[in-house]
Amino acid sequence: MANSMVDDMRRVREENPFESMMERFDRAAQKLDLNPDLYAVMRVPNRELKVYIPVRMDSGRMEVFEGFRVQHNFARGPAKGGIRYSPDVNIDEVRALAAWMTWKCAVVNVPFGGGKGGVICDPSQMSLGELERLTRRYAAELIDFIGPEKDVPAPDMNTNEQTMAWIMDTFSMHARHTVNAVVTGKPVELGGSRGRREATGRGILFVINEAIKRFKMTPPNTRVAVQGSGNVGGIGARLLHDAGYKVVAISDIFGGIYNPAGIDIPAALAHLQATRSFEEFPGVERVSNQELLELDCDVLAPCATENQITSENSNRIKCRILAEGANGPTTAGADEILHENGVFVIPDILANAGGVTVSYFEWVQNRMGYYWREDVVNERLQDIMVASFNDVAKYAETHAVDTRTAAYMLAIDRVAYDTRMRGIYA
């Protein structure tokens, strides 16, 4: 019984996203021999907000929801990060995601710090009107803390372009003029950037393109398994398929499909959209989401949710390249095992940074009132993702560390430099 309790406690600790982030931060800070004063400042968020959001439901009753916004760091610019709606939102998750955003923005060298928001709710059980009232009141509670120069929210889990439009409008009504740079991920017609919706998946394609060169592989002979089929996994799988990769597996929340000869991804995604399931898609084997992770493949792209690869299953991961499309899909407890097994990891703070990079482009376009063609957006995204991949790879080689530690070291080094140059106002 005692051993079982210890194992359960260890598992809870390993799967706590904030604990995983801090373990990686501490490892990188130690490698950098980070100044103790800078360490003390950078390891904690700048600000954490907790708000209570009264919403009049369609039934007429009042319900109060709990929401958060964590602003982790402002050394390099305004906080930047998404807002998620989920019954599972908690402060540790939001705190970890805000810190990840700081490191992610620094890895791709865009002038933002990290932020993240969340509301504890179940959007699947709420009407459009209830979601609008929730969003507007949440935005109103944050109004003194967000803005183009302060904190720029974006969509995340269970939020979308419509959510951002409501936040933009609420903020603009209080400002008495249109402020479209207050959020990114908006509809193009309201100042959103072309290419934003595909940006995270496209960024994954660009870093995988760079990674396979290290193994002298080409797209046609590279087998890719993708966990997830939403805005990251689905778009990423389609772009990989269009680029000539052999996508052998893809999944949704209920499970996945597998064909070692490759799957017609556009057809599979069309089937998913029509039936809301991969069930009955012809010519494939059914696999669970956990089985998909352990398939024999060259590239594994977990693009669904956190804590998918842990110390318990990491020894069964057979891929050569792990491209983390989701935030925190691998726990800190799995890092050393993957490294010892020779898995080349493209960490989340690099692999899925395409979204925040094009969010930065959107913010820039809003502020100058001039909008770019989609091919220009994609070209500039490719430039940044390729340069960032090479920066991380070079850092790993120079410091003789794995790529995840290298990405954290690079990010922390950049944030520490700016913090040191600005000085600490105390």
pLDDT tens per residue, range 156-200:
989 999 999 999 999 999 999 999 999 999 999 999 999 999 999
Span of 7-11, 183-187, 353-357, 384-388 with lowest mean pLDDT? 7-11
- Band (pLDDT 50/70/90 cuts) for residue 350 is very high
User: Region 209-229: what's the mean pLDDT?
Assistant: 97
Q: Is residue 5 pLDDT above 70, yes or no?
A: no
Catalytic residue of the set 104, 116, 186, 246:
116
Q: What CATH superfamily is the domain 45-190?
A: Leucine Dehydrogenase, chain A, domain 1 (3.40.50.10860)
Rounded to whole angstroms, the Cα distance separating 249 from 262 reads 8
**Cβ-based neighbours of 289, under 8 Å, separated by 6 or more:** 227, 251, 253, 255, 256, 304, 308
Helices (H) and strands (E) in the chain, counts: 15, 12
Query: What confidence category does residue 9 fall into, taking pLDDT thresholds of 50, 70 and 90?
Result: very low
Q: Would you say residue 1 has pLDDT above 60?
A: no
- Token code pair at residue 263: 């799957």
The average pLDDT across 238-253 equals: 97
Mean pLDDT of 311-320: 96
CATH of the domain spanning 199-351: 3.40.50.720
Q: So what's the pLDDT on residue 20?
A: 84
Cα–Cα distance measured from residue 178 to residue 226, given in angstroms and rounded to the nearest whole number: 40
**According to the model, what pLDDT value does residue 7 have?**
52
pLDDT band at 306 (very low <50, low <70, confident <90, very high): confident
The SS3 assignment for 310 reads: coil
In 3D space, the residue among 269, 276, 191 whose CA is nearest the CA of residue 231 turns out to be 269
Q: Write down the pLDDT at residue 6.
A: 46
Burial 349-367 (b: 16+ CB within 10 A, else e): bbbbbbbbbbbbbbbebbe
Each residue of 266-281: pLDDT tens digit? 999 999 999 999 999 9
- Whole-number mean pLDDT of the chain? 95
Beta bridge partners of 50: 68
For residue 13, is pLDDT > 80? no
What pLDDT does 19 receive?
87
The pLDDT of residue 324? 98
Does the annotation mark 116 as catalytic? yes
327-347 confidence digits (pLDDT tens): 899 999 999 999 999 999 999
pLDDT of residue 426: 78
Query: Hey, where are the domains in the chain?
Result: 45-190, 199-351
Q: β-strands 62-71, 113-120: how paired?
A: antiparallel
**Identical topology for domains 45-190 and 199-351:** yes
Helix ranges, 108-226 (H):
128-142, 161-175, 199-214
Q: What is the pLDDT of residue 2?
A: 52
* Contact indicator for 411, 103 with CB cutoff of 8 Å: yes
- Do the Cβ atoms of 188 and 194 come closer than 8 Å? yes
Which pLDDT score, from 0 to 100, does residue 275 have?
95
For the stretch 87-134, pLDDT in tens is 999 999 999 899 999 999 999 999 999 999 999 999 999 999 999 999
